Structures are given as structure tokens and as C-alpha cells.
Homo-oligomer: A and B are copies of this chain.
Amino acid sequence: MTHLIAIGGSDAGISAALRARELDPATDVTVVVADEYPNFSICGIPYYFTGDVAPWQSLAHRTAADLEATGMNLRLNTFATSIDVAGQRLEVRTPDGSTEQIAYDELIVGTGALPSHAGITGLEQLTAADGVHVIHSMGDTFALDHDLTARQPQSAIIVGAGYVGLEMAEAFIARGMTVTQLQRGPEVLSTLDPELGSHVRAELESHGVEVVLNTTVAAGEKTAGGITVTGRRDGQPYSAIAELVLVVVGVRPNTELLERAGASLGAGRAVVVDEHMATGLPHVWSAGDGIITHHRLLGQTYLPLGTTSHKQGRIAGENALGGTARFAGSIGTQAVKVFDLVAGRTGLKQSEAEHAGLTAATVQSAADDHKRYYPGAHPIHFRITGDSTDGRLLGAQLVGRYGTEVSKRVDTYATAIYAGLTVAQLSELDLAYTPPLGSPWDAVQVAAQAWEAARRLSPISA
């Protein structure tokens, strides 16, 4: 009987454990979880703060009982401290503070990532007790929840305007707070081109969020009226004050355990694994936000996403049992709801394609989500990126109103990119049509045809 240990109670570790139990119920699976919240949906936390999700327990993808019912053993509040690779033993700190060695046949490390403070002077020293928050774990969630309840802060500064930052802006607005959102770049949601990000900013502003662009935060300190952050905006000194500060400027891979065990670091200073999720250390696999990401269009990069962690975990779980599964690669598909808008993307945008050495062209267009004569039609805004040389679809960005099926329209492009289709082939797809939900040429095809038409008019590769 194989004894498998998975470290990490989030997407990667749990997916690996579930897959191993599914494929071979004889496998003895132990999951070592640093806190007492295995298999919680970190992506769902903002919806706890909007009030859409209650109680917090419902954020669990599966309860501890559900997990144990699959036959895995959970060791909660147990922290993995070191790996003895040669001896195939994991050292952990148990809930009572003692040290224990656990033997394994195969080890899967899913220690994930840690929130970044982006090196902002002073902010790293402040904690939730001071009104400075990050939001990356259930512990962070409880700390923020406690602070909101106890102090009833009326104002918040959110440093960062990526997915979580935007979702939390919505949550704070829903709670009646004033929100100042600081973004380093020229537009919010920089995963999109600014031409589409501007729609998202307009949505934030129409709901009362004060968006401050081109602003770098250099320092933060506790002052009489709350937390003051200072930095530069458009090159000029800038400062803002609020009763609460949330720092959501990304994550960094949590690699300490594997580094000390001898693993190599690669893109984004994440642990290098091969497509089988093997670390190169005998019997040690890794998956999730702590490792490099194999990208179908970019090769090795670092692009931590929950969807990817689930896939990698499943593969690690299968291969730890002797399987030969390969991670097919991410293409960076993402979606976010911001108030009444949904934004999504897959593949590469123009700048990313160029950075990867591709000859690309990007064409923007708009098309209604369904026939305009049927009530409730809204335009979806598209940016399609294709390879100017061979016509291959490289990427798509979409923004549209909630209800326009933007995120699942992203999936059509994601599937096409996976399969290596050209932009022209999108017009050959036999897509679903009924007037309340589409058009005879679906909006995704109209956008592709706009790319083709622009290319015909100015053939870059000619």
C-alpha cells in the first residue's frame, strides 16, 4: 500500500489527495494542513464580505467530513517544517507544538503562495490589529471580519486593482464604506488591455469607488485619523488616508520547504517542476501556486490560478501512484465579476504576444450578446489577438454586462486556443443559437470576423 502525503489544504493538495483516492482506494492518503480550514474556496472570500455568502463555513468546497469520507486522513493545524528527501520522511509541527516525523512513499507539496506587500515601507510591520489587511487565507478573512465588526471603519484604501482588489472594492461598497482604489498602472485590471479595462473602471466609478491610477505606494503608517499611505501619482507626491487598508498586490510562491529540500527555482522564483509535476527530488511532487506554470503559448512562466492548481494537483495525485499524466498547460484564462460587469480573458494580449516574439495583431470590436430584438441585449466588447503570420488565434479579452455569458464565451476561445485553431476557423464553429441567448453568428464569431476583416485591409505579414 502506497503511503501518500499531500501538504496543503487548498486546491493543489486536496485535488491530489482526491485523485489518488479516486484512482486507487487502497492508497493511504494523509493531508497535512497548516490551519483548520481544508479545501476552502479562497476565491470566494470577497463574496463573504459582500454578504452574498453566509455563513463562512459554506465557502468550503467540501467539508472536512466530506473529505474524510473519501478515505483520506486530514491532519489539521499541522505545519510541515522540513523534508528528509533521502529518508522519505516529512517533519511536521503538530497542534500541541511538538515535532513529528511522518514516513511517506510519495510526497506532494502544495504550499501555495503568500500575499505580497510589494515592499511598501511600514505596511509590512502593520497588522490586522492596526487596520492593515491582506486577504489570502481564512485567517486573514476572520481578521478582516473582526476588524470590520469591531471598529466599523467607514473608509478603505485598497492597494491594487486586480481581481481580488476589484471584488473587495465591491464588497466594501456593499457595506456602505467609501473606497479609494490605488493602481500602479494606467488602468485597472491590467490583465486586460486598458481599452477594455476602462469599462471596468467606469463600472467601479459609477458605484462610487474612487479609482486613482498611475499611483505607486511607497510607505504606510498609522496616523491619528487612520492609516496614511504615501507615494507618487503621475510622478507627483501623493497621499491618502483611510480607516482601513487592504493590500492586494499579488502573491509570491511559498517555496521555503522545497527550497530547503533542494528543489530548483525558476520563473517568478517558483519551484521548477516538469509537466508531470515532478520536482526532480525523488518521490517529491509539487502543484499549485508554489510552482512554475507550464503555459501552452509562453513555455515556463509563473501564473498562479485556482483552476491551474486543481489540474496540477490532479496530475500530481495520479503520477504519485505511478501514472503518466501530463499537465497540458495553462493559457491564463481568467474571469471576474465587478458589480454588474464581467470581464474575462484567455491566451495572450498584444503586448504579451510581442514579448513572446510573436507577430501579432489585436482588433477591438463589439457585438450584442443576443439578438437585439429580444429584450435585454447588451454589447460585449472584444479584443482578439491573432498571429499575423499564420492566422492562429492567440488571445481574446471580453467585457460585458453580467448575464451576457461573457465568461463562458471566453471558454470558446480558450478551447480554440487549446486546439490551435486559427481566427478564421472560429467562423467554422457550429455554435448554439437561439434569439434570447445568441445570434446566428455568435458574438465570438463576429469578433473573429472583425479581426479577419482588419487583417484583409492591412495585411501585416504581407
A interface residue numbers (CB < 8 A to B): 11, 22, 41, 43-44, 47, 52-53, 58-59, 61, 163, 296, 305-311, 314, 328-337, 342, 344, 346, 371-375, 402-403, 405, 407-412, 414-416, 418-421, 425, 427-438, 440-442, 444, 453
Docked CA distance A58–B374 (Å): 9
- Which chain B residue shows the least CB distance to A60? B373
State the oligomeric state as a number of copies.
2
Judge whether A435 and B371 touch: CB under 8 Å. Answer: no
Whether A374 contacts B335 in the complex (CB less than 8 A), given A419-B415, A432-B344, comes out as no
Contact of A405 among B310, B336, B408 (CB under 8 A): B408
Docked CA distance A437–B309 (Å): 18
Residues of B within 8 A of A416 (CB): 415, 419
Whether A418 contacts B412 in the complex (CB less than 8 A), given A373-B44, A435-B47, comes out as no
Contact of A44 among B41, B47, B311, B435 (CB under 8 A): B435
Residues of B within 8 A of A311 (CB): 427-428
| Shortest CB distance A135–B (Å) | 14
Residues of B within 8 A of A411 (CB): 408-409, 411-412, 429, 431-432, 442, 444
Q: List 18 A-B contacts (CB under 8 A).
A: A41-B435, A44-B371, A44-B435, A58-B373, A307-B430, A307-B431, A307-B433, A331-B430, A332-B430, A333-B431, A333-B433, A334-B433, A402-B436, A403-B403, A407-B432, A414-B429, A415-B415, A419-B419
- Which chain B residue shows the least CB distance to A413? B415
Residues of B within 8 A of A418 (CB): 419, 421, 425, 428-430
Judge whether B43 and A434 touch: CB under 8 Å. Answer: yes
